Amino acid sequence: MRTPRSLGLALLLGELRAHPGRAIVGILAVAIGVAMGYGVHLVNHAALAEYSQAVRSLMGSADLEIRGPRAGFDESLYPRIARLPEVAAASPVVEVDAGVPGRTGVLKLFGIDVFRAAPVAPNLIGRSPEERAGKLDVLDPDAVFLSPAALSWLDLKPGDPLTVQVGLTALTLRIAGTLPAAGEGLRLGVMDIGAAQWRLDRLGLLQRIDVKLRPGVDTDNFVQALAALLPPGVVAGSPQDNVSRTSSLSRAYRVNLNVLALVALFTGAFLVFTMQAVSVLRRRSQLALLRALGVTRAGLLRLLLAESVAQGVFGAALGLALGFVLAAAVLAYAGGDLGGGYFEGVRPKVRFDVLAALIFFALGLSAAVLGSLAPAWEAARARPAQALKAGDEEAPLKRLRSPWAGFAAMAAGFGLTPLRPVADLPVFGYAAIALLLVGAILLMPRLAHLVFGLLPSSRQAVPQLALTQLAGAPGRASIALAGIVASFSLMAAMAMMVSSFRISVDDWLHNVLPADLYLRASSSGDSAYFSLDDQAAIASVRGVARAEFLRSSQILLDPQRPPITVIARPIDPRNPGARLPLTAALVAGQPGDPPAVWVSEAMVDLYGFRPGQHITLPLQGRPVAFLVGGVWRDYARQYGTVVISQDDYRRLTDERRVTDVALWLEQGTGPAQVKERLRQRVAGGEHIAFAEPGEIRTITLKIFDRSFAVTYLLEAIAVVIGLFGIGASFSAQALARAREFGMLRHLGVMRWQIGAMLALEGALLALLGVVAGLALGWVIALILVHVVNPQSFHWTMSLHVPWAFLAQVASAVVAAASLAALASGRRAMSRSAVRAVQEDW
């Protein structure tokens, strides 16, 4: 004779064998959530790990890195640093992001003094293919040593020529060997420092100095003392600070992707809850029988949770495997930054992360267990005598009609939205979204009771039966609603957020691209520029009505943050809005005020710059005072931009080179004609990168869509999981209502009428869920657009709702719910009406 425990186990196993589809859906829901989260983590971790490992290898034994602006600082700083008593060795470095004709992307070139670098960073010294005595390739002004990643990217080998762009001229170098220590992670090259300064047009300038301290010297104290010797804009920090700055560039993007990936796991947990809740309700009498036969509450709870544990274990394991495959595919398609452009030149490989795998396995298992905890707890607490009676399925759900818990959760969520970010991350914004979701789902039973109770009665039998069922059993209806509201609201919120961002970027591009044709000295890198002669030649080309020249460079304000961009361009101080999309009131300067600058929204968030404030910026090694004249929106640069009038910039720095040109053409002249004339008139014109405003917008939006490809995938997953939840919920409910269908058949109701009733119930439930989900999604989108996005990326945008897309998805969800309800009822309706009713006799 079987014990109650073995009998319970047999019944539960029988349930799984009888309804394998529901178990498979639960496993897949957990697997998808784990796969998305683990895959995104592996991609991000691979890029950061590869970059960090390469930097540590190349920096060798350096204790400090003295770094200045991208334009460089005076090389006279090097001997002053090298002579300090605390310094054991110092290595000057020239660093240039060189453009390669015919290639998209940059090749990072380092110029080093091989004798100074040997004790500090020996891995930066190149290796010739054949070590021959007396060979001095490392000092050859034409020689360059490339990393394996660079050789692979360029499809070149030692001995081949390498062409890079300097200004508008092509510089040909000889690949003399390799940099084995750079590995497969970074594409870079190394040449002699004198040759680099000469050939790359960086005479008298350095970008950084690598320092090795004497034993016993305290690094922190030395950095504090060193600050007084460094010119403005030059900072000292550890090599790891460089990794941290690069990491912080993509941190907000990575964190948001991780959170969005966990949304799939969150909706998967609701799907598990939906299936388990209706399954427990349908088996309520069976579970009560087990209790009557001697199974304890704790034993029954363990048996029910064992179902979810099994689903969680299989789902999490499958999710880890899928996540690894997904990460490998994403790295091959979009690179280590998921298309965000943060790790250009890094070619990471996916590696299995044991700790992360255990964490995501635990998350998947927890999602499955938490999704079934409430139904299992309720079933274990039910009184056996009452639960054995037919029609008791709605009784345990009555307590869910209380709205106070839902109101409290939503009030707490709204209360968190004004709070400031933590470590530049919108922690409270994410918490607010989670509380709003939970609160809205807790309010579903009350909402279903009110809505379906207020609907007018019908004289037709089928609609009246459907309305009576929904109004009389709002608890069961709310279970299906939970999955619909959770999935549809998250999908709608993400769709609104992405649509708002995309439309805002498109509008912004129309604002900042008023010219007919745009020129860039190179499509990438900072080694190319337009000289004064080039500018004169461009402005004099026939068909050009007006030319505006722009220079972009980078400076460091905070060693812990990425550099900011300084743009010098023609600006009318009386009407800066003609060139900049301003978001803050203008401040007119007073007599005696310093020159005005206009800062991006990120400068306000990160550095506290405000209109009317006097600030100091380091330009060419000296502090320069400015007045903040206004704030503008910049979607191109996340960590801050400062725009200076070109006249002021040239007066303060004596710098005449520019990097970009905007051309307004004469009437009747086409861009193609001007392009051809520029190529012929300007020396090196074949290297100029041309783009029309429409092309720039198309390319930018294409990059945008690639960057948000994961978000689009998550939207689709949310909808699919929601549809699975609808089908599973109605399938279980239809089986639980078999006696009801049998009685209706005895009373003369036709099978097609019962099918129509189920289809109508599904459509009405889905319609209510879609409406509630759309309203909740709109609220969540407001938080994403006005709280999460500004705190993450430091720019603002307006909310745009993609009504057509949401209407299509909503119609599909309602139609799918109706079909799912009809299909799920076919099995229950196929049973003999007499047999179904006899179960109650």
State pLDDT tens for residues 79-103. 999 999 999 999 999 999 998 988 8
Strand, coil or helix: 759: helix
- Specify the pLDDT at position 112: 93
Phi/psi at 810 (5° precision)? -60, -45
Q: What is the mean pLDDT of residues 672-694?
A: 91
- Specify the pLDDT at position 698: 87
State pLDDT tens for residues 470-521. 666 555 666 667 777 887 888 888 889 889 988 999 999 988 899 999 999 9
Q: In this predicted structure, which of 165-174, 255-264, 422-431, 738-747 has the lowest mean pLDDT?
A: 738-747
pLDDT band at 644 (very low <50, low <70, confident <90, very high): very high
- Check whether 788 has a pLDDT greater than 80: yes
CA distances from 402 to 44, 188, 381, 436, 484 (A): 43, 64, 19, 17, 20
- Specify the pLDDT at position 573: 82
Among 179, 252, 263, which residue's Cα sits nearest to residue 716?
A: 263
- Specify the pLDDT at position 1: 45
- Check whether 547 has a pLDDT greater than 90: yes
Q: In this predicted structure, which of 56-65, 297-306, 328-337 has the lowest mean pLDDT?
A: 328-337
- Check whether 604 has a pLDDT greater than 70: yes
Alpha helices in 193-238 (DSSP H): 193-199, 219-226
Higher pLDDT, 191 or 523: 191
Q: In this predicted structure, which of 353-362, 383-392, 426-435 has the lowest mean pLDDT?
A: 383-392
Whole-angstrom Cα distance, residue 417 to residue 431? 9
Higher pLDDT, 592 or 742: 592
Q: What is the mean pLDDT of residues 456-467?
A: 68
- Whether residue 482 contacts residue 274, with contact meaning beta carbons closer than 8 Å, is answered with yes
- Whether residue 91 contacts residue 239, with contact meaning beta carbons closer than 8 Å, is answered with no
Query: Is the four-CA dihedral 276, 280, 282, 286 of positive or negative sign?
Result: positive
- Check whether 223 has a pLDDT greater than 60: yes
- Check whether 269 has a pLDDT greater than 80: no
Q: What is the mean pLDDT of residues 269-294?
A: 69
Longest dimension (CA), the chain: 105
- Specify the pLDDT at position 57: 66
State pLDDT tens for residues 724-736. 666 666 665 665 5
Q: For residue 210, what are the contacts with CB-CB under 8 A and spacing of at least 6?
A: 59, 60, 62, 64, 65, 66, 90, 91, 93, 117, 120, 121
- Check whether 50 has a pLDDT greater than 80: no
- Check whether 174 has a pLDDT greater than 90: yes
Whole-angstrom Cα distance, residue 543 to residue 664? 9
Q: What is the mean pLDDT of residues 524-531?
A: 89
- Check whether 231 has a pLDDT greater than 50: yes
- Specify the pLDDT at position 23: 73
List of E strands, 343-451: none
Mean of the per-residue pLDDT values of the chain: 81
Q: In which region does residue 184 sit, left (phi positive, over 0), alpha (psi from -120 to 50) or beta (all else)?
A: alpha
pLDDT band at 812 (very low <50, low <70, confident <90, very high): confident
State pLDDT tens for residues 110-169. 999 998 988 888 888 888 776 543 356 778 889 999 988 889 889 999 989 999 999 999
Structure tokens at 722: 């929601």
β-pair partners for 616: 625
- Specify the pLDDT at position 342: 52
pLDDT band at 590 (very low <50, low <70, confident <90, very high): confident
Q: What is the mean pLDDT of residues 748-766?
A: 76
Whole-angstrom Cα distance, residue 558 to residue 655? 24
Among 502, 492, 393, 362, which residue's Cα sits nearest to residue 769?
A: 492
Whole-angstrom Cα distance, residue 656 to residue 651? 10
pLDDT band at 315 (very low <50, low <70, confident <90, very high): confident
The percentage of the chain sitting over the pLDDT mark of 90, rounded to a whole number, equals 31
Whole-angstrom Cα distance, residue 467 to residue 456? 9
CA distances from 332 to 32, 245, 482, 638 (A): 20, 25, 37, 25
- Whether residue 734 contacts residue 827, with contact meaning beta carbons closer than 8 Å, is answered with yes
Among 541, 555, 757, 727, which residue's Cα sits nearest to residue 637?
A: 555
- Check whether 785 has a pLDDT greater than 60: yes
pLDDT band at 841 (very low <50, low <70, confident <90, very high): very low
- Specify the pLDDT at position 351: 78
- Specify the pLDDT at position 111: 93
Whole-angstrom Cα distance, residue 837 to residue 60? 81
pTM over 0.85: no
Whole-angstrom Cα distance, residue 272 to residue 27? 9
Q: In this predicted structure, which of 20-24, 166-170, 224-228 has the lowest mean pLDDT?
A: 20-24
Q: In this predicted structure, which of 182-196, 269-283, 356-370 has the lowest mean pLDDT?
A: 269-283
- Check whether 350 has a pLDDT greater than 50: yes
Residue recorded with tokens 């609201």: 489
